[in-house]
A and B are shown apart, each in its own frame.
Chain A
Amino acid sequence: MKIYINRQETETSATTVQELAQSLNLPERGVALAINNAIVQRSQWAQTTLGEDDRITIIKAAFGG
């Protein structure tokens, strides 16, 4: 599935935010994540599903170098 992470087109096999977070090795704390401008709180990551062309914003220390 094609999604955008911080405006970069990305292919992912993740179906939920939690799976995406794991694939990106996001830490347990100090991360703000939004889908299509809406912040998703961490407790909702496992049940929040990703859709084609979703725009993900990740604000995280030194994300992506």
Chain B
Amino acid sequence: MLQFITHYTNTISYLDSVRLALEGGCRWVQLRMKGASEEKMLPVALEAQRMCREAGATFIIDDHVELVRRIGADGVHLGKNDMPIDEARSILGSGFIIGGTANTFDDVLMHHRRGADYIGCGPFRFTTTKEKLSPVLGLEGYRSIMEQMKAAGLDMPVVAIGGITAADIPSIMATGVTGIALSGSVLRAADPAAEMARLIAITENVKHI
């Protein structure tokens, strides 16, 4: 499965990016507007949520737990410097998806204990999208984390993130991760909706257990 994380360029707004992702067949959108206040995000979030509902897509918001509760989004994604997952869970209850960013197996374990529903695991490689960078994982990093999860009996879905391109997807999926999260690379394509469709097809064509 493929998650699109909103982004913008000189010509594409956050809402445009949601529209293009949905047009390309994406059914899991994370609204991320780094540094934006809840009040600034509210109108964008409401419109993005409306578009996602219409398309039958799951809609989650980065960081803003209160906004998620307020508008009834499907869930929240929490980065390493955001609210701890157990605190978000106590605010949101069990009816919302809560995802957490992990860079190591220890992060995965911590998120699991605190009640996360999925893990955004990365970065796969160096990326300029995120300002605060953790060490890159590469394929070996995913293999190692997935093996440790299996050994520990953790079956939480893991979404790989961070500078992933189309050519990387088959080998990353082969490490056993559940899905891929993409952001900037989709919007840099000449036809972002077509690029999204192509990336989804690549992700779905991977056959493995």
Q: Do B203 and A63 have beta carbons less than 8 Å apart?
A: no
| B118 neighbours in A (Cβ, 8 Å) | 59
Task: Tell me, yes or no, whether A43 is within 8 Å of chain B by CB.
Answer: yes
Q: Do A32 and B28 have beta carbons less than 8 Å apart?
A: yes
| A1 neighbours in B (Cβ, 8 Å) | none
User: How far apart are the CA atoms of A33 and B118 in the complex, in Å?
Assistant: 12
CB distance from A29 to the nearest CB of B (A): 6
Residue of A at shortest CB range from B99? A59
Within 8 A of A (CB), among B161-187: 173, 176, 178-179
B interface residues, how many (CB within 8 angstroms) = 34
Residue of A at shortest CB range from B173? A37
| B96 neighbours in A (Cβ, 8 Å) | 30, 61
User: How far apart are the CA atoms of A57 and B203 in the complex, in Å?
Assistant: 14
CB distance from A18 to the nearest CB of B (A): 14
User: How far apart are the CA atoms of A46 and B78 in the complex, in Å?
Assistant: 32
Residue of B at shortest CB range from A53? B209
User: How far apart are the CA atoms of A59 and B58 in the complex, in Å?
Assistant: 10
- Would A62 and B117 be within 8 Å (CB), given that A30-B75, A37-B179, A37-B204 are in contact? yes
| A31 neighbours in B (Cβ, 8 Å) | 58, 74, 97
Residue of B at shortest CB range from A62? B94
User: How far apart are the CA atoms of A3 and B54 in the complex, in Å?
Assistant: 30
| A4 neighbours in B (Cβ, 8 Å) | 209
Of the residues B57, B97, B155, B173, contact of A7 by C-beta under 8 Å: B155
User: How far apart are the CA atoms of A31 and B80 in the complex, in Å?
Assistant: 23
Q: Do A32 and B95 have beta carbons less than 8 Å apart?
A: no
9 chain-A/chain-B pairs, Cβ below 8 angstroms: A7-B155, A29-B72, A39-B1, A57-B178, A58-B157, A59-B157, A61-B93, A62-B115, A64-B155
B residues near A (Cβ < 8 Å) are 1-2, 27-28, 55-58, 72, 74-75, 89, 93-98, 115, 117-118, 155-157, 173, 176, 178-179, 200, 203-204, 206-207, 209
Q: Which 8 A-B pairs have the closest CB atoms?
A: A41-B56, A39-B27, A32-B58, A34-B1, A38-B204, A6-B155, A37-B204, A30-B74
